[in-house]
Structure 1
Amino acid sequence: MDPIGILLLNLGGPWTLADVGPFLRSLFDDREIIPFPGGPRLQTTWSRFLSAVRTPAVRKRYAAIGGGSPLLYWSRVQALGLAKRLNAGDSSSLTDAETAALRAATASEAGLPAGLGEGRYVPAIAMRYSEPSAGAAIAHLAGRGCRRAIALPLYPQECAATTGSSLADLRRAMARAPRPIELDVVRSYHDHPLYLRAMAEKVREGLAAFPPEMRREIEVLFSAHGVPIRIAESGDPYVRQVGETVEGLLRELAGEIGPHRLAWQSRVGPIRWTEPGTEEVLARLGKEGARGVLVVPLSFVSDHIETLHEVDIEFREVAEEAGIERFGRSPALNENPVFLEALRDIVLAAAGRGSEPASGARSARERA
């Protein structure tokens, strides 16, 4: 049977502290996220200026979480776990040898290390603003003989700023490929039953860290990545899908959690963003006398700067200053087996379905 490529799309992050500046410049260069005044010609000027201004502070944040982003490592863990399930029906945890091989891989390697996850389904990682690039991922699949690929964004909720930008970058890379590749695009899986089950497991893990007598009064604060208001008001599905994810989690956790709210994090720059901000809600909860808060990050499927620094360090400080006694975060999905089963289900549905929608996933077929 012909090999099928699996393109795992993600935002990316600096591999080392030296990569922080180039990463920020690549991010600010993207007019699909932040269209600076003056049009495309001034976008580069703005991106150079802002990346130079912000690099020292952002570098300190990455230094505080180990000297670089773990996003590529966790994306590789998820790629290998998915490949093992697809190619060998193997749902076991990664071995020490497999983990060591993933950690030893360089930043530019789009595919898995040789000998790992071999079979009909060939995974490759394409980061939007760092290595490995979409071009490297396409080249890897071409080298493995793939004429068909499934784009699997590691963004559960579809948004122009994430899914849309990654897909546009992928299409540009595919247009430069020596031969056409038939592409099935998974656009979202924000309400896939297994994704919701995996997220619910993580909420329970987070609550278990609080004293039993406090758990029913813990404020559960769902925190999604914010988006500019201009995107939210353009008909983009992201804000709606975040709300549907929360609704699905509340059904999964019926009777297990007490008060809950939704807020938005990672809002930067002098533009209007979705509201309220997570830090603003934490300050409000402190004034209202909340004793404990569990932050549940949404729209993230693995640990990176937004969970390890923004939530664990910055939001914890905000909570402490607000007088909140106990603060916690639900663990990231990372290598959660139920989440990996969700990805397997989505990929198999896309591989066998063509352009028909899979249960709990939105997708389409195109040729690029």
Structure 2
Amino acid sequence: LSSALKTFGTSVSLPFNSTIVKPKTAILMLNMGGPQHTDQVHDYLLRIMTDRDMIQLPVQSRLGPWIAQRRTKEVQKKYKEIGGGSPILKWTDLQGQLMCNELDRKCPESAPHKHYVGFRYVNPLTEDTLQHIENDGPERVVFFSQYPQYSCATSGSSFNSIFSHYRQHSLPKNIKFSIIDRWSTHPLLIKTFAERIREELNKFGEAKRKDVVILFTAHSLPLKAVNRGDPYPSEVGASVHLVMKELGNTNPYTLAWQSKVGPLPWLAPATDDTIKAYVKQGRKNFVLVPIAFVNEHIETLHELDIEYCDELANEVGVEEIRRAAAPNDHPLFIEALSSIVADHLKNGQAVNPKFLMRCPMCVNPRCKDSKNWYSEVCTH
């Protein structure tokens, strides 16, 4: 486990394309982020628990801060166990640098390209990064969600935060804006996950390799959000289907859901319950695949590696369990990122029509205002 943590969590260099003073094209990489140090945990949790796009609570302005305060020490302990903080900023910076290197080569007409990181709940916060981008003065800005599968709670929250920022600040009139909101079925993303799975399958003995259960796992979602029409479960399922097709359907597989919070019904089955159930059925060899995460963070390094692959596996009698690495800086994944942006820059579509649709049972008035705003702002 310690070697896995070193590989996934702490060995990433942090390059910056600081030589670019005035980029022609800015790519804002959007994600929820993670605290780099344990003293950032409380504010990180506070922002999550008071974001109604992410979670809806009764009397949220009071209950949210109470939950954040109550959970801080527990979450700080988990971050200490993976090295003291989240590596998500280091990975995102590295991915962005490598992506822009490829873009400068592929798309000289829109070069130089520069990546920026915009996190929803921790520094660098999206609203601060937007100001940084404006100061740099690019001709074009691409808002690029780093969630391959779209959910109103994740991608939607990040896009809504941009809308909220510009509701309070004037929109630069000399910058063209466009968005990349989802990419769950991109062929190179699929190939990346397939390669990550093969890396782990090949570590099993040949005699049992084809019997290993490929257990895809993704962050869960409350059923009330699913029932309103959130597309996330179907987009995760599409990724799983295509990855298994890329692998030639060589192994048994299933999809489960992790990280449920609170007592309300969420997507099921839970990842830990799935492991327990299959062990009872006699299936004791697994590869866990974090199909909705593009880099290592607390939910891969702690929940999957420590809580499931170590503690739970020993408790229930798993024979062998491995966890596929997130895409991180895999060359295929960097090629995926650069291809997605290059195609977007060239195809002339500033916004995906699907993005402009609300969920059929949407109850969030901010979504309506936000999507109307994007339909006006994202034009060529």
After TM superposition, is the score higher than 0.5? yes
Matched, 1:198 2:219: no
Kindly provide the CA deviation profile for residues 11-57 of structure 1, in whole angstroms up to 9, marking residues without a partner as x: 111110101111001110101121111xxxx3121111101111111
In the alignment, which residue of structure 1 is the partner of 2:70? 53
Q: Supply the AA of the counterpart residue of 1:307.
A: T
CA distance in 2, matches of 1:21, 1:154: 24
Cα distance, 1:89 vs structure 2: 5.2
CA distance in 2, matches of 1:230, 1:21: 27
Q: Which runs of 5+ in 2 are unaligned?
A: 1-21, 357-373
Q: Supply the AA of the counterpart residue of 1:203.
A: I
Aligned residue runs from structure 1 range 271-286, under 5 A: 271-286=264-279
In the alignment, which residue of structure 2 is the partner of 1:115? none
111, 114, 128: which one aligns with 1:136: 128
CA distance in 1, matches of 2:270, 2:278: 12
SS class of match (1:212): coil
How many residue pairs align between the two structures? 334
CA distance in 2, matches of 1:88, 1:351: 14
Cα distance, 1:357 vs structure 2: 7.9
CA distance in 1, matches of 2:67, 2:251: 42
SS class of match (2:296): coil
In the alignment, which residue of structure 2 is the partner of 1:73? 90
Give the conservation status (yes or no) of the 8 Å contact 2:23–2:111: no
| Alpha carbons of structure 1 residues 178 and 159: separation in structure 2 relative to 1, 3 Å | closer
Cα distance, 1:136 vs structure 2: 2.0
22, 30, 33: which one aligns with 2:51: 30
In the alignment, which residue of structure 2 is the partner of 1:7? 28
Matched, 1:324 2:318: yes
In the alignment, which residue of structure 1 is the partner of 2:79? 62
Structure 1 residue runs of 4 or more that deviate by more than 3 Å after TM superposition: 361-366
CA distance in 2, matches of 1:88, 1:174: 32
250, 254, 268: which one aligns with 1:261: 254
Give the conservation status (yes or no) of the 8 Å contact 2:220–2:257: yes
CA distance in 2, matches of 1:182, 1:275: 41
202, 207, 223: which one aligns with 1:208: 202
- Larger CA deviation: 59-68 vs 339-348: 339-348
SS class of match (2:138): coil
CA distance in 2, matches of 1:174, 1:262: 38
CA distance in 1, matches of 2:134, 2:238: 37
Aligned residue runs from structure 1 range 324-363, under 5 A: 324-355=318-349
Cα distance, 1:320 vs structure 2: 2.1
CA distance in 1, matches of 2:236, 2:88: 21
Matched, 1:252 2:273: no
In the alignment, which residue of structure 2 is the partner of 1:109? none
Aligned residue runs from structure 1 range 226-237, under 5 A: 226-237=220-231
CA distance in 1, matches of 2:150, 2:71: 28
CA distance in 2, matches of 1:143, 1:33: 30
Give the conservation status (yes or no) of the 8 Å contact 1:184–1:363: no
Instruction: Give the share of equivalent positions with the same residue, in percent.
Output: 34
